[in-house]
Amino acid sequence: MKVLIVKTSSLGDIVQTFPVLDYLKHQFPIVEIHWVVESAFAEIVRCHPQVDQVIAIESKNWRGKEMFKQMGKLRRELRCIHFDVVFDLQGNVKSSLVTMIAKSRAKVGFGWKTVPEWPAWFFTHRKVNPPKGQNIREDYMSVIQSYFQDKSHFVAKPFSLKLDSLQQQKLAALFSSQQKPILVCPSAAWPNKCLSEEGLLKALRQLNKSPLWFVWGNPAEREQVVRLSSHFPNSLVLEKLSLPLLQNVMMRCELVVAMDSLPLHLCGTTSTPSLSFFGPSSAKKYQPLGSQHRALQGTCPYSQQFEKRCPKLRTCPTGACLK
């Protein structure tokens, strides 16, 4: 069986889709899985041990003559394979173009009530509306399992992203001692998803029985973790890690402390417990699955209600639900 998954972005959403790979390999041990993803996010998909081929696109360049050039290249890549089934787990206009090009008699995506962008509804043969109230990972699983008419409860297993030899050496050097650290990931893509530094410090002081390791992704985040780490004599600010190496580091930690962010969702692919903080997004919807993962949900003082994310996530001037 050859399966094509269309999930192009963003990094956190891609990681939340990973459990479907374990399901497909469990049900069909010799399945061949292809994945279409934005080139900026292709590394993490290529490092997944259950993905056989990655097809990278740059949809931001789909304009004018460049669009026809890139679509022609994509068509040549996709049309040389007949897929038994295509799953559009993105559900927007650009992913529907990819789904349209792919050669398959079975194209599966979200139903009218749940498709993120309505034009995508027209390019699939089977439409699935996941039940309300599920975790986002269960939503993706519902789309896959519905096609195979499988109503069983499936729990994905932890796995390690593939590392090259240099990354393996770095991993071994980090864990030369026996004591397991607590990994602290204080940042998120949007400031309103983050605790105040004062609030995070209060939490970390209660956890400081183990060494605290801080991770960062850009210079501003590095400045923040340097400030935080200065309060803890036995702490360590790690160098910037690739996502596969970060995931493997998490597998060896005692606990991961994070916001609703990519590091939290990476932790959800491991067996390591997590403690996470949610405000303008729903912990019920986005926290990792499993009893080892605990989340605290902030309350909105302005009575905003939402199932997934607060409509004022990017614009709320106070971020009071977390701050």
The domains spanning 2-147 and 169-297 adopt the same CATH topology? yes
Is the confidence at residue 177, as pLDDT, over 90?
A: no
pLDDT tens digits for range 116-128: 999 999 999 999 9
pLDDT tens digits for range 34-92: 999 999 999 999 999 999 999 999 988 888 878 888 888 899 999 999 999 999 999 99
58 contact partners, CB below 8 Å, separation of at least 6 = 38, 39, 70
Name the CA dihedral angle for 140, 269, 156, 285, rounded to a multiple of 10 degrees.
-40
Which helix or strand (DSSP H or E) is residue 27 part of?
helix 19-27
CATH code for the domain defined by 169-297: 3.40.50.2000
CA-to-CA separations, 225 to 187, 189, 232, 261, 271, in angstroms, rounded: 9, 15, 11, 16, 25
Q: 111: which 2 tokens?
A: 């139903």
**What pLDDT is attached to residue 67?**
80
Average pLDDT for 207-219: 92
Q: Quote the CA–CA distance of 10 and 90 in Å, as a whole number.
A: 10
Domain ranges across the chain:
2-147, 169-297
Q: Report which of 276, 266, 314, 316 is spatially closest to residue 296, judged by C-alpha positions.
A: 276
**Superfamily of domain 2-147, CATH level 4:** Glycogen Phosphorylase B; (3.40.50.2000)
Q: Report which of 73, 124, 79 is spatially closest to residue 102, judged by C-alpha positions.
A: 79
DSSP-based three-state secondary structure for 207? helix
**What pLDDT is attached to residue 69?**
85
Residue with tokens 């309300």: 132
**What pLDDT is attached to residue 64?**
80
Is the confidence at residue 148, as pLDDT, over 80?
A: yes
